[in-house]
Amino acid sequence: METTRKPDPDRRTFLTKCGIAAVGAACAPAAAAGIDAPEQDKGGSDSRPASASASSIDAATLASGASLAALEFTEKERQQMLPNVLNNIQNYKTIRGQILQNGDGPAEAFDPRLPGFAMPASPKNAAADAAPGPLPTADDDIAFSSVAELASWLRAGSLTSERLTQIYLKRLALYKDKLENVITMTDALALEQARRADENFKKKIIKSPLQGIPYGIKDLFDTKGILTTWGAEPWRERVPNADAAVVRKLADAGAILVAKLSLGALAYGDIWFGGKTKNPWNLKQGSSGSSAGSAASSAAGLVGFAIGTETWGSIASPCSRCGTTGFRPTFGRVSRAGAMALCWSLDKVGPIARTVGDCALVLQQIAGADPADPCTVDAPPITIPDINISGARIGFVENEVDRASDEDKHLIEVLKKLGAKLEPVALPAGPYDRIINLLICVEGAAAFDEMTRGDLDDQLKWQDPEAWPNTFRTTRLVPAVEYLQASRIRRKFMKIADDLFRGFDAVVAPSAHGALHALTNMTGQPAVTLRQGMGRNGRPVSTTLWAPLFNDSRLLQIGRALEAELNLWRARPNL
């Protein structure tokens, strides 16, 4: 197999349309926790020059170094700086002598709430959806049903969790080589959990609507005694000794883990050590990433639902590509404890499924404050209100109207038909993509510093200029001052987002729009991605809506209303 792969040109086009700079941070995600880093390979054949010793650094060296930071100093200033620079080198050595694991985050915990923020109340829960009708006779039809339908049949006794689990396990085995979407199957655990769920159904014990529902999870979440590889060669034999918080919550809810799903190595793209995850609607195309396997598996009817993560677009991007529904919660809604950290101040965990309602059911079970993740927030619970959105105020980004496709224009008309009030809103121009890119690159380089300094990055399959190995090496040269300046600019962005969303229930922009993806990933607003049409090529076309901080339930309500009116979610790829 080839040792390097060039990025999917279609994926690059998507990122360009979204305004995502291909400088290494493109479509990332993640969370927080880890295990000891792998032992360094001391016998590599790639000989590298030794680092410059402190004694070799002089004023001329400082002139060269300053140019890398786009700075200039006089000869007198450089001579004065030299002792301090040499002292800093000793500080670096002290820092590098400390043992840091991936889950050891910074002392500062990001909070998206500005002073004066008032937590919104969640809408009231609505009555349960109507009965789904009789159980289909064909296994494929069962596999592509919604979580709500599956849960109803399981509770009624017309379907057992063991049978449903076997259906998904067989489909995973049948298509995983074609899609390259599975890193580890968990058959034994799944069947054990399914039989336990069936016993509870017989005893009329219902832990949650997810009881007995098989799911897959992005392979950056720790699973006790089961490989958790982060999709990257240095960690392909990594076995955690505890479950991530999300895995534990889903087990408590009675859900069935059937597979650890692929992700682009270290949460970037769709290339991992076992291949390149494919889009079920077009097997010649990658699924995008980094929640590559989660989106592909949901689209292909291989799981009831999946769990993904997003740092910049790693839920929205693969869901748009694969035609699945993805929900990125407000930052701090879901614990990241026990999940690989890429960017502590940006990583978010969310569900990927076939319907918005399914995402709501999953989010109800995984949301909540967790002492193990200092960024989580005690917020009102997720509710599933009715789909009456008459009177909802929805902003449309007017300065992007020239990018609107036919599907975008139709979506606006559908929202109006549902009784929503569409109002124009302007997003101020800003360097959103550049700032988020720098934040991700710096935090990611810190999270995987030992990999870079130990040359373990040479093991990664993807070695192009925009891939993580080169990005992390380059980022070591970013001045700490610039990172803090970017953080200060981010604070200004939080005020821009606060003004943008104030008074609205949701905001929608043309599907080609990318600035809101960058902005809201930095500022923490929730987002939902769902199908808004079917293209001429027979493949889904998706849109994204955003909502104010912690208005997740209201956004779910609007998404469900749209989904019911558009009635597109049952279309399935032909594998």
Find the catalytic residue in 122, 145, 208, 218.
218
Six token digits for residue 347: 């990583």
Two tokens, residue 23: 């400088």
DSSP bridge partners of 473? none
Asked whether 288 and 270 are in contact (CB, 8 A), the reply is yes
CB 438 within 8 A of CB 478: yes
Residue 451 burial (CB count, 10 A):
25
CA distance 212 to 164: 8
The yes-or-no answer on residue 55 being catalytic is no
Catalytic residue among 152, 262, 288, 314: 314
Exactly one of 290, 297, 317, 345 is catalytic; name it. Answer: 290
- Measured CA distances, 440 to 111, 399, 447, 448 (Å): 17, 27, 10, 12
In whole angstroms, give the CA distance from residue 145 to residue 570.
8
The label of the residue with tokens 């969303």 reads 501
Beta strands (DSSP E) in 329-432 are 348-353, 393-397, 421-425
- Tell me if residue 291 is catalytic: no
Say if residues 354 and 569 touch (Cβ distance below 8 Å).
yes
Q: Which of 295, 258, 298 is nearest to 161 (CA)?
A: 258
Q: Which residues pair with 396 in a beta bridge?
A: 424, 508
* Active-site residue flag, 290: yes
Cα 455 to Cα 461: distance, rounded to the nearest angstrom = 14
Query: Taking a C-beta distance cutoff of 8 angstroms, is the pair 222, 242 a contact?
Result: yes
Q: What secondary structure does DSSP assign to 430-455, as a single string?
A: --HHHHHHHHHHHHHHHHTHHHHHTT
What is the Cα–Cα distance from 427 to 112, expressed in whole angstroms? 19
Q: Find out whether 319 and 529 touch, Cβ atoms under 8 Å.
A: yes
- Tell me the CA distances in angstroms from 461 to 250, 270, 469, one per residue in order: 32, 12, 10
Catalytic residues, by residue number, are: 218, 290, 314
